[in-house]
């Protein structure tokens, strides 16, 4: 199986989820949010296809990472490939975050007709959902660009059959200098 990526895997990010993370930039996004920072990732024929085994090999070589973040583009356009990578990363002790322009409820509907959506959701620890809305852009929150987006605890949401937000991010102010340096957001 292959995955279409917008860029090489990016290790050592401290802004794409909690801790020190490697970002997988997927290629292809149908949402076309006004003000998107990565419009070059919209084209479904852009970027390059990469074998999943090659991504796994890169993951094997990572050092000092807390987790993997799927971003893009919209990773939910390639759920089967992302699910396989996420499952492998978890087996290596890495946690999983995912950014998507879909909202969680829509993903659950998609999962009813396409099994791979649930396969991927089950591998995700934290989902940041919803389109970027320029009018709701905020600098007063971490890990999301606009206030409509939610930071969702996926295992708890699936278990309780309702959206469960990650509570520690609800009142969180922007990064402190210490957090910027350490990458630890507690
Ligand atoms: S969902 Fe993300 S990548 Fe897609 S257009 Fe919106 S901000 Fe850009």
Report the number of distinct structural domains present in the chain.
Answer: 1
The residue whose CA is least distant from atom 6 of ligand 1 is 33
Name the band, by pLDDT with cuts 50, 70 and 90, for residue 140: confident
- pTM of the shown model: 0.92
Residue tagged 């969680």 (tokens): 104
Q: What is the pLDDT of residues 60-103, one digit of tens each?
A: 999 999 999 999 999 999 999 999 999 999 999 999 999 999 99
Alpha carbons 94 and 125: distance in angstroms, whole number: 10
Nearest atom of ligand 1 to the alpha carbon of 32 = 5
What CATH number has the domain bearing residue 53?
3.20.20.70
Ligand 1 mean position to 159 CA, how many Å? 28
- Helix (H), strand (E) at residue 67: strand 67-71
DSSP SS3 for 22: strand
Ligand 1 residue neighbourhood (C-beta within 6 Å): 29, 31-33, 36, 38, 41, 72-74, 101, 131-132
Question: Which domain range does residue 17 map to?
Answer: 2-182
pLDDT value at residue 138 = 87
Does position 21 have pLDDT exceeding 50, yes or no?
yes
């Amino acid at each position: 199986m292959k995955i279409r990526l917008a860029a090489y895997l990016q290790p050592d990010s401290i802004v794409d989820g909690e801790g020190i993370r490697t970002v997988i930039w997927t290629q292809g996004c149908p949402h076309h949010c006004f003000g998107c920072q990565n419009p070059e990732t919209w084209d479904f024929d852009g970027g390059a296809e990469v074998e999943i085994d090659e991504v796994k090999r890169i993951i094997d070589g990572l050092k000092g990472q807390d987790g993997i973040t799927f971003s893009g583009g919209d990773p939910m356009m390639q759920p089967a490939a992302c699910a396989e990578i996420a499952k492998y990363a978890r087996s290596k002790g890495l946690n999983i975050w995912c950014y998507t322009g879909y909202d969680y409820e829509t993903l659950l509907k998609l999962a009813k007709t396409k099994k791979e959506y649930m396969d991927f959701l089950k591998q995700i620890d934290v989902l940041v959902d919803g389109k970027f809305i320029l009018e709701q852009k905020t600098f007063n929150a971490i890990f999301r660009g606009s206030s409509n987006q939610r930071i969702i605890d996926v295992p708890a949401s699936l278990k309780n059959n309702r959206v469960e937000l990650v509570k520690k991010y609800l009142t969180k102010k922007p990064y402190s200098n210490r957090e910027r340096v350490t990458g630890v957001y507690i």
